[in-house]
Amino acid sequence: GSELRTGVDALLGKTGTVTERIGPGLSGRVKVDGEDWRGASSEGGVIEPGTQVTVIQVDGTTLMVEKEL
């Protein structure tokens, strides 16, 4: 059956927009569902503001994201 995810786990798979540059070893900011979160790249590359990203992991209060294809 479908599993109900709550809290930050509910953000997995959601799409967001980078609002502050994310780079290797440098966390930035991501807006998901109107909320501002710390974001980090799972790919190690630079992600510029305005880029659409997908949340693939939640580490505490940091969302691990990757660029949408």
pLDDT value of position 7: 76
Contact 24, 52 (CB under 8 A): no
In this predicted structure, the answer to whether residue 62 has a pLDDT above a threshold of 90 is yes
Q: Please say if the pLDDT value at position 6 is more than 80.
A: no
Global pTM reads 0.85
- Answer whether residue 45 shows pLDDT above 80: yes
Backbone angles phi, psi at 11, to 5 degrees: -80, -15
pLDDT of 25 > 60? The answer is yes
CA 4 to chain centre: 20
At residue 34, the pLDDT reads 95
SS3 content of the chain, % helix, strand, coil (to 5): 5, 50, 40
Rounded average pLDDT over 59-64: 91
